[in-house]
Amino acid sequence: MDAHNGQKIYAHIVGWGMAVPDGVLTNAHLEAIVETSDEWIRTRTGIRERRIASERESTTTLGLRAAQRALDVSDLQPTEIDLIIVATSTPENIFPSTASLIQHSLGAVKAGAFDLSAACSGFVYGVDMAAQAIKSGSIQTALVIGTETMTRILDWQDRGTCILFGDGAGAVVLRASAAQGGILSAVLRSDGGGSDMLGLPTVGSVDLRNAFSAVNGARPTAGLTTPSVELSSSPDARPRMYKMHMNGGEVFKFATRVITESVHQALEKAGLTMSDVSLIVPHQANQRIIQAAARALKVETDLFMSNLDRYGNTSAASIPIALCEAIEQGRIREGQNIVFVGFGGGLTWASMVVKWTGARPPEPGATTLINQQRRQISYLFARWQMRLRRLSRRWTSLFARFLPHRRKKTE
């Protein structure tokens, strides 16, 4: 239901921001790591370089920076956020969620927060979840972040995958409004039958390290397979724990098929056709995938935003990063229909149609300066609050040791 008290509510993108590490990993750097060449990578993928997080950077710090920029554009305060969704395949932990860590660092004390796992489609999934919550009247404002440190989960011996991915983050702020437009439609899909094509084995209900040793005869094998990974007795064929594995050729075919299919479906749901679309912001995986999708959709490749030559595939972060750069380049204007399309592990895929409603960064002035300072105070307070809380817990436990009556109570 898109109505609240009889009034139709729309979900608009009112803020956006991106953050990428300063570290650049060029194709030439990769030539020193695996047997590859700049020429091979450029012609097969379109990628020239990608960003790589430093030791001090993480999925949370990149996501936080992107979120802070998105809040600056929206000129809202962290306390106005009702919901934070972080789409990521490289969370800091299984729990606490990266979303909760960012929520605290922003000082978004009234927000719920959770991570969303839908691989490279995650950002579109997250925007749809947030838009639905806004349209139902349940919340007013949401922050959706796609953030990844893909270089931390790459198998640097596998030249088929390690050349493709990079690190970065992008975020949008969504806000309820009575004005028509914003998120018009979305199509979310999954096919777990293709789960072996793209994956990241990690800690879960089945520990693959045990499962693998079972295959080697160290333990009984019964019941130790996961639906996503067929265990092979050949060590070379087995996915490595904590490392991404992929069947590139199959993923390529899957991607071109679902982009075409789901873009048509999302447009139909919005009552529009391809001729109404001003820009498609696709997941940035491979320039040849974009070219094949353009051919299948019978549109010029220029209709697709592409910046993968500089960032590679940043998974859930790629669409919001491309969106930010499209806005910066003046490729998105008020009243235009734009399409997001993502695809990736799961398998998952998703398309979304957005009517851009011309939200602009606020004009610099006294009010915006005060608002910005209020945000900075919120970030600073959050940082100190965490330190003080930890310190106070340490002191409390120290005192408890010297107070016999307290000890008795807990015994």
Among residues 27, 120, 324, 337, the one annotated as catalytic is 120
From the list 15-23, 207-215, 241-249, 295-303, the region that binds ligand COA by CB under 6 A is 241-249
Residue 324 appears among annotated catalytic residues: no
Q: What is the SS3 assignment for 186?
A: strand
Among residues 283, 286, 324, 337, the one annotated as catalytic is 283
Residue 357 near residue 190 (C-beta atoms within 8 A): no
Q: Is 112 in the site for ligand COA (CB under 6 A)?
A: no
Q: What is the SS3 assignment for 348?
A: strand
Q: Is 353 in the site for ligand COA (CB under 6 A)?
A: no
Nearer to ligand COA, 141 or 348 (CB): 348
Q: Is 286 in the site for ligand COA (CB under 6 A)?
A: yes
Binding mask 219-238 for ligand COA (x = CB under 6 A): --------------------
**Residues numbered 120-139 forming contacts with ligand COA, rule: CB under 6 A:** 120
End-to-end distance of the chain based on CA atoms, in angstroms?
Answer: 53
Q: Which tokens in the block code for residue 39?
A: 């020429």
Residue 120 appears among annotated catalytic residues: yes
Q: How far is the CB of 337 from ligand COA (least distance, A)?
A: 25
From the list 133-141, 201-209, 245-253, 398-406, the region that binds ligand COA by CB under 6 A is 245-253
Dmax over CA atoms of the chain, in Å, equals: 78
Q: How far is the CB of 259 from ligand COA (least distance, A)?
A: 11
CA distance 300 to 168: 28
Q: Is 144 in the site for ligand COA (CB under 6 A)?
A: no
Interacting residue with ligand COA among 4, 42, 44, 257 (CB under 6 A): 44
Q: How many CB atoms lie within 10 A of CB 125?
A: 26
Chain residue whose CB lies nearest ligand COA: 248
State the residue for tokens 């960064």.
Answer: 361
CA distance 310 to 47: 7
Q: How far is the CB of 336 from ligand COA (least distance, A)?
A: 26
Q: What strands lie across the sheet with 337-344, from one edge to the other?
A: 182-190, 348-355, 337-344, 277-282
Interacting residue with ligand COA among 246, 263, 326, 353 (CB under 6 A): 246
From the list 39-47, 184-192, 217-225, 329-337, the region that binds ligand COA by CB under 6 A is 39-47
Q: Is 285 in the site for ligand COA (CB under 6 A)?
A: yes
Nearer to ligand COA, 78 or 170 (CB): 170
Looking at the DSSP assignment, which residues form a beta bridge with residue 351? 187, 341
The CA distances from residue 270 to 1, 125, 163, in Å, are: 15, 17, 37
What stretch of H or E contains 373? helix 366-402
**Between β-strands 337-344 and 348-355, what pairing exists: parallel, antiparallel or unpaired?**
antiparallel
Residues in the chain: 411
Q: Is 256 in the site for ligand COA (CB under 6 A)?
A: no
Q: Is 249 in the site for ligand COA (CB under 6 A)?
A: yes
Q: Which tokens in the block code for residue 391?
A: 């310190």
Residue 297 near residue 263 (C-beta atoms within 8 A): yes
Nearer to ligand COA, 99 or 285 (CB): 285
From the list 92-100, 130-138, 156-164, 356-364, the region that binds ligand COA by CB under 6 A is 156-164
Q: How far is the CB of 267 from ligand COA (least distance, A)?
A: 22
Q: Quick one: how many helices (H) and strands (E) in the chain?
A: 12, 15
From the list 38-46, 76-84, 134-142, 166-174, the region that binds ligand COA by CB under 6 A is 38-46
Q: How many CB atoms lie within 10 A of CB 298?
A: 8
* Nearby residues of 359 by Cβ (< 8 Å), 6 or more positions away: 12, 13, 14, 15, 73, 74
Q: Is 194 in the site for ligand COA (CB under 6 A)?
A: no
From the list 11-19, 34-42, 63-71, 133-141, the region that binds ligand COA by CB under 6 A is 34-42
Among residues 27, 286, 313, 337, the one annotated as catalytic is 313
**Between β-strands 141-149 and 167-177, what pairing exists: parallel, antiparallel or unpaired?**
antiparallel
Residue 5 appears among annotated catalytic residues: no
* Nearby residues of 400 by Cβ (< 8 Å), 6 or more positions away: 406, 407, 410
Q: Is 316 in the site for ligand COA (CB under 6 A)?
A: no
Catalytically active residues, by annotation: 120, 283, 313
* Interface positions with ligand COA (CB under 6 A): 36, 40-41, 44-45, 120, 159-160, 163, 246, 248-249, 251-252, 285-286, 313, 344
